[in-house]
Amino acid sequence: MQKITRDQLITKAVELLSNGTVSAVLGWKKGEFDYDITPAVFTTEEEINNGFVYNDFCGANFSKYLVAKTKKLEGKILVFLKPCDSYSFNQLLTEHRFDREKVYAVGIGCEGMADVVKLKNKVDGIVSIDYNDDGMYVDTLYDGTVKVDYAEVMAERCINCKSKKCVAYDELLGEDGEVIDSARFDEVASLEAMTPDERFAFWQGELSRCIRCNACRDACPACTCEKCVFDNPGSGVENKAPVTSFEEQMFHIIRAFHVAGRCTDCGECSRVCPQNIPLHLLNRKFIKDMNECYGEYQAGAEVGSRAPLVDYTEGDLEPGEVFERGENDA
């Protein structure tokens, strides 16, 4: 499959702006460095030509931005949806979080995004990055230009990509892919196979690093509550900064439960975590359990689908049986 290029996106964005289809464009713009790309709204051709970027670091999921942007805007907003973003897009529509009529969605094929951390682990002192068909050419302070294969720096979530199929769009750039039978649950399974003590040790090691910056929540496309329970004094679990380690602990469990059945497994939580905690492994555990107990379900695969936790059958497994199921598998 041909990679989508910046030029293609700009051409499309300018075309839709100038013919009046949309009045704004949700896109990416360069940050301080070539790899810290931030989402931005463009309203003129000029802004786009100057600021719009698209490269291997444009992993940010835009769906969530539509909740706020569509409310404020007159006319339509253009959004580019990678396959994983399109699932979040549908999920938000299922939850009536924005008006579909106010969005013009362009699906874009995706060959996987790069992981900044992986890149930094390989290369020190990044000055700038150039892209080529066969890899990245990184200009560095110390080692001159270093060539890096895409495969070496591909993000975990892209290696275990669940789908290259755009499930929502008004128009598609490039070719559509297929849903992939990915190995994304392997890591969860290997954790499940551990003894409780080993699992405890693993999670203690991971979660003790949390600095409670809320980045996971802020990036999560399922976390679009008008008022987050962690910010709500009436909820009983309000806490902005860590008071006790224990309250802290609850944060990730509650958050994972809150998005259970709604999480599309886009991987944004892990991507944005400054402490590199594999938060997606919590969400995937719920997804894996729900798939195994209640039948395959992919949040966002279709608009209006009924998530497992707001559904039931009379013959569901008992909570105790869910454990036993794990034992039989092991």
Partner 1 sequence: MQRIGVFVCWCGSNIAGTVDVKAVAQALKLEPGVVFSTDYQYMCSQAGQNMIIDAVKEHNLTGIVVCSCSPRMHEATFRKTAAAAGLNPYMVEIANIREQCSWVHKEMPIGTEKAIILGKAAVAKVNLNTPLTPGESPVTKRALVIGGGIAGIQTALDIADAGFPVDIVETKPTIGGKMAQLDKTFPTLDCAACILTPKMVDVAQHDKIRIFSYSEVTEVKGFVGNFDVTIKKKARFVDETKCTGCGDCVDKCPMKKNPNEFNMGMDNRSAIYIPFAQAVPKVATIDAGACTMLKKGKCGLCSKVCGAGAIDYTQKDQFIEEKYGAIVVATGFNPISMDKFDEYAYSQSKDVITSLEFERLTNAAGPTQGKLLRPSDGKHPHKIVFVQCVGSRCASCAEKGKEYCSKICCMYTAKHAMLTRDKYPDTEVYVFYIDVRTPGKNFDEFYRRAVEEYGVNYIKGMVGKITPEGDVLKVQASDLISNKQLHIDADLVVLAAAIEPDKSARPLATMLTASMDTNDFFTEAHPKLRPVESPTAGVFLSGACQGPKDIPETVSQAGAAASKVIGLLCKDKLTGNPCVASSNEMMCNGCSSCERVCPYGAITYTDKEFRMPDRTTQVRRVASVNPAVCQGCGCCTVACPSGAMDLRGFANNQIMAEVDAICK
Partner 2 sequence: MQMKEYKPLIVAFCCNWCSYAGADLAGNNRLNYPADVKIIRVPCSCRVNPMFILRAFQRGADGVILCGCHPGDCHYTSGNYYTRRRMAMLFSMLDYLGIERERTRVEWVSAAEGAKFAATMNDFVEKVTALGENKRLEDLRCKR
Residue 96 interacts, among partner 2, partner 1, none and using kind-specific CB cut-offs from 5 to 8 Å, with partner 1
Angle formed by the axes of helices 245-259 and 280-294, nearest 10° = 40
Residue 95 interacts, among partner 1, partner 2, none and using kind-specific CB cut-offs from 5 to 8 Å, with partner 1
Contact call for residues 110 and 164 (beta carbons, < 8 A): yes
DSSP 94: H
Pairing of the two strands 38-42 and 144-148: unpaired
Which of 256, 292, 308 lies closest to 277 in space, CA to CA?
256
Contact call for residues 135 and 149 (beta carbons, < 8 A): yes
Q: Which residues share a beta bridge with 80?
A: 106
Using the minimum distance from each CB to partner 1, give the nearer residue, 200 or 257: 257
Quote the least distance from Cβ 227 to partner 1, whole Å.
Answer: 4
Is residue 317 part of the contact set for partner 2 (CB under 8 A)? yes
Q: Is the dihedral of CA 272, 95, 224, 309 positive or negative?
A: negative
233: number of Cβ within 10 Å: 6
Quote the least distance from Cβ 38 to partner 1, whole Å.
Answer: 23
Interface segment toward partner 2; rule CB under 8 A; list 7-15, 179-187, 206-214, 266-274: 206-214
- Interface positions with partner 1 (CB under 8 A): 71-72, 94-97, 224-229, 232, 234-236, 258-259, 262, 306-307, 309-311, 314
| Contact flags string 257-296 toward partner 2, x per CB under 8 A | x--x---------------------x--xx--xx--xx--
Residue 262 interacts, among partner 2, partner 1, none and using kind-specific CB cut-offs from 5 to 8 Å, with partner 1
Contact call for residues 279 and 273 (beta carbons, < 8 A): yes
Quote the least distance from Cβ 268 to partner 2, whole Å.
Answer: 20
Residue 181: CA count within 13 A, CB half-sphere? 0
Interface segment toward partner 2; rule CB under 8 A; list 93-101, 119-127, 141-149, 205-213: 205-213
Pairing of the two strands 126-132 and 52-53: unpaired
The whole-angstrom separation of Cα 252 and Cα 312 is 25
The whole-angstrom separation of Cα 217 and Cα 268 is 9
Is residue 225 part of the contact set for partner 2 (CB under 8 A)? no
Interface segment toward partner 2; rule CB under 8 A; list 2-10, 54-62, 138-146, 307-315: 307-315
Using the minimum distance from each CB to partner 1, give the nearer residue, 24 or 53: 24
Taking the mean position of all CA atoms in its chain, how far away is CA 9?
Answer: 20
70: its two tokens:
């569509």
Give the helix/strand (H/E) hosting 107: strand 103-108
Residue 128 interacts, among partner 1, partner 2, none and using kind-specific CB cut-offs from 5 to 8 Å, with none
Is residue 199 part of the contact set for partner 2 (CB under 8 A)? yes
Using the minimum distance from each CB to partner 1, give the nearer residue, 32 or 101: 101
- Give the footprint of partner 2 on this chain (CB under 8 A): 188, 191-192, 196-205, 207-208, 210, 229, 235-237, 245-250, 253-254, 256-257, 260, 282, 285-286, 289-290, 293-294, 308-314, 316-323, 326
